[in-house]
A = this chain, B = another copy of it.
Amino acid sequence: MASPVVRFRIDFADHAAVGPGKIALLEAVHASGSLSQAARNLGMSYRRAWLLIASLNASFRKPVARAVTGGRGGGGATLTEFGVELITSYRALDRDISSIAARHLRPIVKAVTKASRVKPAVARRSFAHKGI
């Protein structure tokens, strides 16, 4: 029986929200040391990646990332200590949420229909409204 997957975002304030997209971007910057490479890896535009980082930097008193200059073809990006802390806290929360969700939702999970058992007409109706 598959575990339920919980997708979440955190609203810290009206102007400060963090969800899986921003965290994935921070992780990609951390791994590649470059905002443009991180954007490419995630299939998003450089502009969108830049705006997401700018939004994070405006949300908190400490920046999450900063530009690094120097070297040929320089112009990389690196996470600050706070940026790394944000990833770490989010992932720790993610792990705990998965674990308590599995516990709370056990009786519900048992009642999920198998996709193959859903009648085609019902499945069409259901898939048409996926994501609602």
Q: A61-B111, A105-B10 are in contact. Are A93 and B100 (CB under 8 A)?
A: yes
Contact: B52 with A132, CB < 8 Å? yes
The complex places the Cα of A129 from the Cα of B54 at a distance, in Å, of 10
A-side interface residues, number (CB < 8 Å):
56
User: Across the interface, do B123 and A15 meet the contact criterion of CB distance under 8 Å?
Assistant: yes
Confirm or deny: A75 has a beta carbon within 8 angstroms of a beta carbon on chain B: no
Within 8 Å by CB of A105, from B93, B122, B129, B131, lies: B93
Q: Encode A1-25 as 1/0 by CB contact (under 8 A) with B.
A: 0101111111111111101011000
Which residues 24-69 in A have Cβ within 8 Å of B in the complex?
A: 51-52, 54-55, 58-62
Would you give the shortest CB distance from A113 to chain B, in whole angstroms?
Answer: 6
